[in-house]
Amino acid sequence: MASSSSNLISLKTSDGTVFKVERALAKTMKTVQAIIEEADANIYMIPIHNVFSHHMDMIIDYYKLSVAGKSKEFSVEKLDNDELKDFLLAVHYLNMEDLFEVLTQAVADRLEKKSVGYVRKYFGIENDFTPEEYAAIRKKNDWAFKGDDIEPEEDEEKQEE
Amino acid sequence: MEEKTSTSPAPAPAPAMGEDDVWCKETVPKVLKLVCCSPSLNQKDLISLLFVSPFLYRTLLSSQPLWQLLNFREFNNAGNRLIAALSLPRYQHVKEINLEFASDIEDTHLILIKQKCFDSLQSLESLNLNGCQKISDTGIQAITSCCPRLKAFSVYWNVRVTDSGLLHTVTNCKHIVDLNISGCKNISDRGAQLVAENYPKLESLNLTRCVKLTDVGLKQLLQKCLSLQSLNLYAVSSFTDEAYKKICLLTRLTFLDLCGAQNLSDQGLKCISKCKNLVSLNLTWCVRVTDEGVIAAAQSCTSLEFLSLFGIVGVTDKCLEALSKSCSNTITTLDVNGCIGIKKRSREELLQLFPYLKCFKVHS
């Protein structure tokens, strides 16, 4: 039985894997920390919804690197856009500030110079501008675009490379 | 013609109920706000994000820090663009405007801005008009009258700016700490005096190629702008030791560019050496300088990282030895090209004396 005075916290991911993590790591997850504080003295296992074992692997990697002062070496390059987005969602759920900022920056880098349609698709945002509204905003901001700029695209069917 | 969303990308395992809402209303704006602050996002991309959705439009607009910079560097039709931008409420607190090398910006635009957008410039702290060669004193008068809080003003390479333009600037903007009038060849001692009398807290001053300045004007500056940390006198060769000696009054000086100071003697350099905090010293073409002056500098300015002796034939290996004694740990840039009096100046020999040396050439 893991008691609250033990150094390890058990976290159970959505896919059923149990991770025993150091208390210090659990502390970086504000969501988990809140659960621990609210629960009874002896909490056995904390379920973390929306977080899968492959997310936990990366979270533990990041933690180990930052403890060693090497957090800059952490990379999410190998993740494709959807995997990065899911990871971001998981980290957001767990409320881990530093890692969230790292991932946000990674998303920013990937969105750089992409069209409006791409951004919508990436975040799953619906375009609920009326054509009139959209045209009005475009007109107000026309000054920001040079002649040879790629205009902000509305066509969501344009695929990025 | 409402556009339909195409089939949404295959989602990850379905999130718990309410997650979609959290995603849209919390996560996405959070992410996009951070995205907007990232240095990799340029102005065009930032503004493009306003077109993503109405919710995002409102959310991003409400984040003031996103809208503090207007960047028209190298844009054409810059005058009209600037007016259009400043007419939008989100730029009411703009802090920085960059028009460097923009074209089609003239006095008439600046006058129009004063008439129509006066309120929007009250928070402006930094204005870059580098290379906007059509602007004259009239335009300067108009624009400076709109931004009383201006701290940094740069109007590089503009021969239409005269002492009058400076008079308007010092009258309208009392808090300037960074002034760049490099290449404004028509500025005279009178303009220098205006700066000296009105900006006692000036930290950075660039007078490159202001060839009409004489010792009279420079002395005024040196005696009154005692907070200067950076002083650039590149290619102003009319000064003499009479003024150079007063540079020692600037106890906070870390950057000094004297390229082309043909009248600077060892005596003058010895006085300058009293600025112990110098980190960067450019003595390119200071042809009267010899070992005596450089050794004095070496012994006093022990934090020196950047030094150019380019073209000085009167210095020998002795000055490098002295330099090495006091600054071997800090020097990372040393240009001794053309210093025929120095025998040991191959790359390897220099690295022996200055192990952290990275850059061997400053002047082309």
Task: Kindly write down the DSSP assignment for every residue of B193-250, as one continuous string.
Answer: HHHHHH-TT--EEE-TT-TT--HHHHHHHHHH-TT-SEEE-TT-TT--HHHHGGGGG-
- Residues of chain B in contact with residue A118, where contact means CB-CB under 8 angstroms, are none
> For residue B71, what is the enclosing H or E element?
strand B69-71
A152/B76 CB distance under 8 A: no
Residues 201 through 230 of chain B touching chain A, CB cutoff 8 Å: none
A9 Cβ neighbours under 8 A, 6+ residues apart: A2, A20, A21, A22, A23, A26, A32, A36, A46
Contacts across the A-B interface (CB distance below 8 Å): 123
How big is the CA angle at B86 (ends B84 and B91), to the nearest 5 degrees? 130
- Tell me the C-alpha distance between B338 and B64, whole Å: 53
B157 token code pair:
């390479």
Q: Which of B37, B43, B48 best tests the A interface by mutation, with the highest count of A CBs <10 A? A: B48
- Residues of chain B in contact with residue A99, where contact means CB-CB under 8 angstroms, are none
The four Cα atoms B168, B171, B174, B177 give a dihedral, to 10 degrees, of 30
Given a contact cutoff of 8 angstroms between Cβ atoms, the answer to whether B122 and B146 are in contact is: yes
B9 touches chain A (CB under 8 A): yes
Beta bridge partner(s), residue B307: B281, B334
> For residue B165, what is the enclosing H or E element?
helix B163-172
B58 token code pair:
């409102």
pLDDT value for A86: 87
What is the rounded average pLDDT of the residues A89-109? Answer: 88
B347 touches chain A (CB under 8 A): no
- Residues of chain B in contact with residue A133, where contact means CB-CB under 8 angstroms, are 54
CB atoms within 10 A of CB A138: 16
B13/A107 CB distance under 8 A: no
A89/B12 CB distance under 8 A: yes
pLDDT value for B14: 42
A156/B81 CB distance under 8 A: no
B53/A157 CB distance under 8 A: no
Say if residue A157's pLDDT is above 60.
Answer: no
pLDDT value for A161: 35
B263 token code pair:
């009248």
The four Cα atoms A104, A109, A114, A118 give a dihedral, to 10 degrees, of -40
More confident residue, B242 or A122: B242
- Tell me the C-alpha distance between B14 and B12, whole Å: 6
- Tell me the C-alpha distance between B123 and B142, whole Å: 16
Give how far B193 is from chain A: nearest CA, Å: 40
pLDDT value for B4: 38
Q: Nearest Cβ partner of A129 from B48, B49, B53? A: B53
Q: Which of A87, A105, A123 best tests the B interface by mutation, with the highest count of B CBs <10 A? A: A123
B353 token code pair:
């004396």
Q: Which of B31, B59, B83 best tests the A interface by mutation, with the highest count of A CBs <10 A? A: B31
pLDDT value for B17: 42
A104/B24 CB distance under 8 A: no
Helix (H, G, I), strand (E, B) or coil at B354: coil
| Confidence tier at A62 by pLDDT (50, 70, 90) | very high
Given a contact cutoff of 8 angstroms between Cβ atoms, the answer to whether B170 and B147 are in contact is: no
In degrees and rounded to multiples of 5, residue A52 shows phi and psi of: -105, 170
pLDDT value for A45: 85
Distance of CA B303 to the CA centre of its chain: 22
Burial status of residue A37 (CB atoms within 10 A of its CB: 0-12, 13-18, 19 or more): exposed
In degrees and rounded to multiples of 5, residue B96 shows phi and psi of: -140, 130
B99 Cβ neighbours under 8 A, 6+ residues apart: B72, B73, B78, B82, B105, B127, B128, B129, B130, B132
- Residues of chain A in contact with residue B48, where contact means CB-CB under 8 angstroms, are 115-116, 119, 152
pLDDT value for B19: 59
Residues of chain B with confidence (pLDDT) below 70: 1-20, 22-23, 34, 38-40, 364
pLDDT value for B335: 97
- Residues of chain B in contact with residue A105, where contact means CB-CB under 8 angstroms, are 34, 38
| Confidence tier at A155 by pLDDT (50, 70, 90) | very low
pLDDT value for A50: 85
Say if residue A121's pLDDT is above 50.
Answer: yes
More confident residue, A82 or A142: A142
| Confidence tier at A42 by pLDDT (50, 70, 90) | low
| Confidence tier at A3 by pLDDT (50, 70, 90) | very low
